[in-house]
Every structure is written in C-alpha cells, then in structure tokens.
Structure 1
Amino acid sequence: MKQRSYLLLPAAILSVFPTALFAQEEPNWVDSQHHSIRTTLHDWANSLDGWIGDTDPNRPASAGLRIMLDSEWNRYDRFSIKPRIRGKIKLPALKNKVSLVFGDDELDNESRDKNRIGSTYAVPLEKNKRYDRKQAREDNASLALRWSETTKRLGIKTDIDVGVRAVNDIYLRFRAAKEWQLTENIRTRLEQIYRYGAKSKHYLRTNFENNYAQNDQTFIANHLHLQYTNDFDEERTSWGNSFYRQHDFAEYKRLNYGIYIGGNVKNKRFDLNQYGPFITWRQPILRRWLFIQPELHYYNDKAQDRIHHLGAFLRLEAIF
C-alpha cells in the first residue's frame, strides 16, 4: 500500500535525499503560526506565573511543547499511529525549582532509550485497529507539578511530581539521577524512577548507562534498564540492553545503530525473549523545529512465537 511505503525507508536513504527537501525555507504562513503558538504558550506561562505570585521581569516564566505523531509497522501487528504531546511550564513565582508538566509522561521514562523497542512501553493495538482514540486521550492526559533539585554535595538530580494521569489516576513520581565522569572519555549514569498511582499502582525503572566518547561527535554506549510494574491485576518485571554507537552531525542530525536484547525476569532468572539490530536517524525537515525520525529494526519475539522480522517506526515531531 502506497501510504505505508515511507515507513520502510531506511535512514541511509533519507540521508541522501535531495538537499532541498531539508533546506530552510523563507518565513511563511507556517512559520508565523509556529511563532504565534510559541508566543501564546509564553503568554499563558507568564499569566499563570502572575496569578500564582509576584513576577520578576528578570526571571520571566517560559514554556516548551513537543507534538509528535508516532507511526509503527510490522508484519504481525500491521500499521498503527499514535499522537503524543509533552509540555513544560517553568514558574519562577513558585521558585525556579518548580514547573508544570503535562502530556504523555511516559516520554520522560523513555528519554534515554535510543530505539523504539527499548522503552518496553509499546502495547500493540487490537487486531485490525490502526488508532485507539481512548488510549491516545488517556496517555496524553497527564498534569503534574514538578519540584526539581540538584544536591551540590552529592551531584544528584531529583524530580518529584505530584499530579494526575489517565484522567483520574492521581500519582506521585520520584526520579533521581547521578553521573560520574570516570575518565576524560568515559562516563557512567545511573537513574532511578518510581511512580505510584491510585489506579496504576507501582511502576519502578532503573536505567544504567556507560558511555565512551571516541571524539566530539561520536560515542559508544551501553544502556541497561530494569522495569517493574504491579497494578495488582498483573505483575511484570522486564529488562533490556542496548549496545549502540551514535554520530552527531551538524544541523541537529543524529545517527544511532546497534543491537538490542531483552526479555522478562521470572523467579530471579533473566529470560532472553528478543534480540536483533536497529538503526535510527533523526534530522530536521523543512524547518529547524520540525523533525523526522525513522527507525528500522529486525527483532524476534519468543513469547509470541514470532521469528525475526522487519519492523519500522517513524516519528514526526514539532518543537515549540
């Protein structure tokens, strides 16, 4: 089907598209609308900041917004799409440490993952269903106040969120992260996330990453995560490991390629359920604030009796 063909374009092909396709055009109606939305967001942020307390002209409120359209295809689950948003409003009236975050909160948990499957959050839609309006609405309905702090002595960055997600799931989320620069080229990062929701119950995730910088534009990394969920109806512990290389190019372009392995943890045993290579490319398209991010991967799935098969993922993202 023609409408699906763009999903199967590998990053290498996209990188050699005609330069004009990714060139920055002269400002037009699209740019004026983008500027208008950014201005509106900052006006809302300052209005909210002024309603909360006294404002400081030297420390105005600010806002950022990401709007994404994720598309995915494989021969088993077929084609599906999912819209996602994530925004943040800094409120200096509540001290610089407090901000308002909204949208799909799972994006914060995935921020260190370099491949689609590594996030382990993806749940296939029902057979022959391409889009789930109810799921998309609930996933993007998170709203929370976030307190951010960095301890100068220990160098630990922490976030504490109190809010509501999936319309009526009141939750508390805690995140702590620390980074060690072991040598000039090697650094290690450890991150712990815990969330408890009135409906979603327990969510626990540990991210452990080792990074070796080959030069200013290229590094090799190994990212390991452990994830535990328990909503009383279902308890699951899973793990995943991505070994990859990343190249950072000019004009916000990025290439990742590597191998992912992962599975479940049962009776303190790490089962290997899936493994295979992946390649991801990200770059602006037409505008500096509009990004395209295709991914190709070749994974199996023992739990579902799926042999190695080609899968594709595509994200279109606008940043305001």
Structure 2
Amino acid sequence: MLILFVLINPIEWCVAQESDSSKQEQQQKPPADQDCIKPPLPTQKNEHWMESFHHTVSNSVYQSALWFDNFFLEEGLEQETPKTTARIRLGWEPKARDWAEFDTRFRVKVRLPHFKDRVDLIFSDDDDNTQSSLPLESADTRKDLEDESFSAAVRYTHRRSKNRILESRIGISGGDIFFRVKHNRRFTWNEKNSFKIEPSVYYFLDDGLGAKLLLEYDYQMNKKTQLRINYSVRGSAEYSGLRWKHGAYYLHQLDQKSASITTIQAEGERNGERGFVIDKYRLSHRYRFNALRSWIFFEIEPFLEWPEKENYTTTPGIALRIEGFFSRG
C-alpha cells in the first residue's frame, strides 16, 4: 500500500473560496487562501527513460507531500514548498550455503514547511541508521541491532545545532505502536578527533520499555581517509540480556564518484540466559561508486562471516547493490 502511495500521484485538486472581488482580479492573481496542488515538473519528449523514471518518482513523492501538507495550511497563507527525499535499494547477497539472499530497502522522508521544518514524516522498511548517507565520504556503516520491519513515523526535532540534536518520534513498526526519544551529541577537538554519544529511550505497546546507547570515535587521518570505531548496546523488557555490537571501519574517498569502506564487526548478547555469546564475526570491503546518472549508486561488497549457527565456519559471500535517490523541494 505504501509503495502505491509513493509512486502514484494523488488526485490533484484545488479548493478556492469565492470572494467579493472581481473575476478579473482573480484571473490576474489567485487568492491567498487558495489551496492548490502544484503540477509536476514537465518532462521533455525526447528525454531518456532513466530520467523520465527519476522525474516520475520524484514528482510523485513531492505531490503526495504537498497534498498532505496542505491539510495543515492556515487560511490566508501561501502554500510553501515541502522537501521530499526517497531512497530505493535493490541487492543480491549470495553466500556459501545460501544463494537466494535478496535485499530490498526503501525510505521516504517528507519535511513539512508549515511546522517550521521541525516535523518529518518517515516511511521505511529499515531503520535510518542502516542507510548509506551522502556524500560518499561520510558514508554511514552502522547497522541497527533491531530486526528489520516496516515503520511509519512522525519525527519532531526539538533542538538542532552543529553538535547536538534532540528529537522524538512516534509511529508504528512491525505492527506495534512505539514512541522514541533520541539525543545526539558530538564533541570535536584538534579538527581531527571527534566523539559521539547517542542515547535513546523507546517504548513499544507490546514489548515495553527499552533503551539503546551508541558510542563512536572518529579520527580524520586526512581529507580523504577516516578511521571510525563504535560500540552500541541495546536492552529492553522483552529481552533478558543486552544486545551489543562492536565495529571498526576504514573509510577512504577514492575520487569524486567512488569510495571504499573496510569493516570488522562482532555482535552478540551478554547477561542473558546463555551468558556472554558472540553471534557473528564479519570482515568486509565495500566499494561504492556513482555511474550512469548522478542519482544512481552501485556497491560491490565481498565479505567473510563466521556465524555461531554455523559453528563459526568461514562463510564467504558477496553483495551486489544498486541504489537510487529521488528528491525535490
């Protein structure tokens, strides 16, 4: 249902209140309280099919956001332009003993201008921490510890500055209603070192109260190379123990259109029924590049895994992904 909502334009409608002014003035200048959906951007007749597809998706997301934001438009105010972004990723991740591993992700974000750019609508089948960010030199390598599930949420930003963000989010994830508060604080010194602390508290109606903490240290070796180390831990009333993940990452900007990330990760559980357990080790090298169009990115990621369920047997694999970005506003 969500994909149809995103990819299909809503019905374009216009509700104008009659005024006592003359029809000539109405034809020359529309009334200020006229709530109209703007038409999509025109496309050229000889436009390449890839650009036509990009415009179609971008316009569809934008028109849906404009239609929704129009409900919150106060009478007498002009319609402002919302900011919309959509990210769609398709991937095939074959590995030893499992050649049918496919990965599809999408994320739609809408910023509503009539809430002073403090309110975002987010639709996703993945947590925003798992998505690769742009530009490439700041590619995010973190993976969330929670199970993948579709979520739809309204996010409100209480405070935003260069080194601090305080936000809250309410929505539905995996069929369960949740509420979350997250605080992101970064400390920087010597222009090369930075440390981030990101605590969050959340509550699910079915699973109860929970909390998560992310600690991250970044060392900027030079303009194109960064070393990153992070640690995350999560606990909730649903689990008897704590879920944790360690990671070390070497990020390198190759040129303006490509970058690579070498990763070493370990994840597991502690203080649970089995005590301290390591679920999996992982070593990977991800090569990401931009090709064909400015909005299309490709990834090639060979990796080695040592999962507990396979008695830590070496499991080689490779991930092949294509990702498209669609934005307007």
TM-score of the two chains, using structure 2 as the length reference: 0.73
Partner of 1:161: 169
| Alignment pair present for 1:186 and 2:206 | no
CA distance in 1, matches of 2:200, 2:168: 10
Question: Shift of residue 253 of structure 1?
Answer: 1.8
Matched AA of 2:254: F
8 Å Cα contact 1:110-1:119 kept in structure 2:
no
Partner of 1:208: 215
Please point out which of 249, 252, 262 is paired with 2:254: 249
Deviates more, 1:248-257 or 1:263-272: 263-272
Partner of 1:222: 229
Question: Shift of residue 90 of structure 1?
Answer: 0.7
Partner of 2:141: 114
Alpha-carbon RMSD across the aligned residues, in angstroms, is 2.9
Please point out which of 10, 13, 34 is paired with 2:54: 34
| Count of residues paired in the alignment | 273
Partner of 1:45: 65
> 1:58-69 to 2 correspondence within 5 Å?
59-69=80-90
Partner of 2:153: 144
| Alignment pair present for 1:264 and 2:264 | no
| Alignment pair present for 1:86 and 2:94 | no
8 Å Cα contact 1:156-1:177 kept in structure 2:
yes
8 Å Cα contact 2:65-2:82 kept in structure 1:
yes
Q: Secondary structure at the match of 1:184?
A: coil
Matched AA of 1:317: E
CA distance in 1, matches of 2:207, 2:99: 28
8 Å Cα contact 1:46-1:61 kept in structure 2:
yes
Partner of 2:312: 306
Residue by residue over 1:254-275, the C-alpha shift from the partner in whole angstroms, topping out at 9 and shown as x without a partner, is 2011322232212696544433
Unaligned runs of 5+ in 2: 1-45, 133-138
Q: Secondary structure at the match of 1:114?
A: coil
CA distance in 2, matches of 1:282, 1:213: 20
Residue by residue over 1:107-130, the C-alpha shift from the partner in whole angstroms, topping out at 9 and shown as x without a partner, is 336668527xx544568xxxxxxx
CA distance in 2, matches of 1:216, 1:235: 44
Q: Which has the higher contact order (CA 8 A, sep 6+)?
A: 1
Q: Secondary structure at the match of 1:288?
A: coil
Q: Secondary structure at the match of 2:185?
A: strand
Please point out which of 284, 290, 301 is paired with 1:284: 290
Unaligned runs of 5+ in 1: 1-25, 124-138
Specify the structure having the higher radius of gyration (Cα). 2
CA distance in 2, matches of 1:170, 1:199: 8
8 Å Cα contact 1:251-1:283 kept in structure 2:
no
Deviates more, 1:73-82 or 1:62-71: 73-82
Partner of 1:275: 281
CA 1:146–1:273 in 2, change beyond 3 Å: closer, same or farther? closer
TM-score of the two chains, using structure 1 as the length reference: 0.75
Matched AA of 1:226: V
Matched AA of 1:249: L
Q: Secondary structure at the match of 1:313?
A: strand
CA distance in 2, matches of 1:289, 1:97: 26
CA 1:214–1:104 in 2, change beyond 3 Å: closer, same or farther? same
